Structure 1
Amino acid sequence: MSRRCELTGKTLLVGHNVSHANNKTKRVFRPNLQVISLASDALRETVKLKISMSVLRTIDRLGGIDAYLLKAKDATLSPKALRLKRAIAKKTAAAAA
């Protein structure tokens, strides 16, 4: 599995360690990714996603995974998250009608 957030697309960043003598060596900045089970209210089930912890705070602030996914842009989502977004949108549209 790749080191990539399924909701935002955050991935590795490359930079330099810079010593006092201004010697530069390559280093890697890794996102804080965890596999988290999130409960979807619309689907009435839990889904496991590999997400960054900064996104988890955003999900909590917006009121859950359903609200986050409905606001998220399709370009940043993984195929699994995109399928989940479409299923949630379908359920909420059916419930509203």
Structure 2
Amino acid sequence: MARRCEICGKTIAFGIQLSHSHIRTKRTWAPNLQRVRAIVDGRPKRIRVCTRCLKSGKVQRAI
């Protein structure tokens, strides 16, 4: 399963790691995803959401 936020679509970012001796290696940055129960179309459902969406209130949690 792909690691992406189901609200904003945030996914893995790619780049390079640069050491002190300027050795360049490829690396990735993964989003901080949490599996939460949220209200989707009026019903509770488990979705993967990034912590930025949780903190900003874009997700209505199911209790």
Range into which the TM-score falls when normalised by the shorter chain: 0.7 to 0.9
How far 1:38 sits from its partner (Å)? 2.0
- Cross-structure match for 1:88: none
Give the corresponding residue for 1:30. 30
Give the superposed CA RMSD.
1.9
User: TM-score scaled to structure 2, two decimals?
Assistant: 0.80
Which 4+ runs in 1 deviate beyond 3 A? none
CA distance in 2, matches of 1:47, 1:21: 48
The count of residues paired between Structure 1 and Structure 2 equals 60
If each structure's helix is expressed as a fraction of its own residues, which one has the higher value? Answer: 1
What's the offset of the Cα at 1:52?
0.3
> Which structure 1 residue ranges, 5 or more long, are not aligned?
66-97
Unaligned runs of at least 5 residues, structure 2: none
| Larger CA Rg, structure 1 vs 2 | 1
- Per the normalisation by structure 1, the TM-score is 0.54
1:3-56 Cα deviation digits (max 9, x unpaired): 01100000010111111111110000000011101246x82x422111101110
